[in-house]
Structure 1
Amino acid sequence: MKAEYLNPFVHATKNVLETMAQTKLTGKKPHLKEGVSTYGDVTGIIGMASDSVEGSMTISFPSACILTIVSRMLMEEAKTTIDNDIVDAVGEITNMICGGAKAEFGKLGLSFNLATPTMVTGKGVEIHHHSDVPIIVLPFETDCGTFVLEANLASK
């Protein structure tokens, strides 16, 4: 995956969560993903395709982190467990981040079509991508914990 493909994801993630959930993010050092298991307890996955590039974006949150983020987004008391509302919120976050990244990719001359996000719950769920391209893990630190965004984009 080209290095310039990472910045749209980083910028969009920071913009969405700092704006929508009043949650300050600090990006940590990206690294290659080892294995195929999800990082957190709730994960959003979305496919991306253009005329020349295709792949996916995954965002995965531990319970405590996403429960706090969603409570901030909705300006409500934090829930204590993952429920359908939390899973739906992860779908919306996935859409907003990928949509923001899509806009930035447009500035690079790439126009993506986005799939409908899929959400999975459970830590360590195996996700198998269609691409053989290495998956880049972008960890983010917040005051409510660490979550990861994973991206893999490859030329067709």
Structure 2
Amino acid sequence: MKINADIVNPFIEAGISVIKELTGIDVRRGHLTYRVTPAPAYEVSIIIGVFGFVTGQVVYSMKKEVAVRLVQRILGDVSAKQMKELFVDTLGEVANMITGNATSLLNKRQDHSLTITTPAIVTGSQVSVRLVPTPTVALGMYTPYGPIEINLSLERKEEGA
């Protein structure tokens, strides 16, 4: 794995900043662990691909209760029907904003270009997500509602490759 603090830190910065901006809640940086796969730890997962001088995938993971509370904070006073209709799109947009902000920071620092894919959102405790087993850095973030995990399975391309 060719991932270091220069790649990890923008995701931590963006995660804390975006969630605080959208919800008004405090977010704390948590654990940092290494895994053999970016498999999500919780039943709500948002997967985004990253391409450019760094390539791979970012997998956001949280418990359903955490996702519901975050979406409620973002959407405000909406009906149960609206909440259900907007739930997945809102989560996708949050992950998109975090990944977009992080890649924007990386683009500025590296003077290169990264692009991201449209988010894929998977929810449910009976659903399993199988991802290519690649070395992963798992970043924990703690909110008053519970943990959020950002799994970075990214590899820096070699110059000239």
TM-score if structure 1 supplies the norm length? 0.86
Q: Gaps spanning 5+ residues in structure 2: where?
A: none
Task: Flag the 1:34–1:78 CA change in 2: closer, same or farther, 3 A.
Answer: farther
Task: Flag the 1:78–1:97 CA change in 2: closer, same or farther, 3 A.
Answer: farther
What is the aligned partner in structure 2 of residue 137 from structure 1? 138
Q: Percent identity?
A: 25
What is the aligned partner in structure 1 of residue 86 from structure 2? 85
Q: Give the secondary-structure state (helix, strand or coil) at the position aligned to 2:11.
A: helix
TM-score if structure 2 supplies the norm length? 0.84
Matches within 5 A, 1:64-75: 64-75=65-76
The aligned length equals: 151
CA distance in 2, matches of 1:100, 1:78: 30
Q: Give the secondary-structure state (helix, strand or coil) at the position aligned to 2:149.
A: strand
Structure 2 counterpart of 1:44, one-letter code? I
Pick aligned residue for 2:48 from 43, 46, 49: 46
What is the aligned partner in structure 1 of residue 99 from structure 2? 98
CA distance in 2, matches of 1:42, 1:135: 18
Moved over 3 A (4+): 34-37
Following superposition, the deviation at residue 53 of structure 1 comes to 2.0
CA RMSD of aligned residues (A): 2.1
Pick aligned residue for 2:29 from 7, 27, 31: 27
Bigger radius of gyration, 1 or 2? 2
Q: Give the secondary-structure state (helix, strand or coil) at the position aligned to 2:148.
A: strand
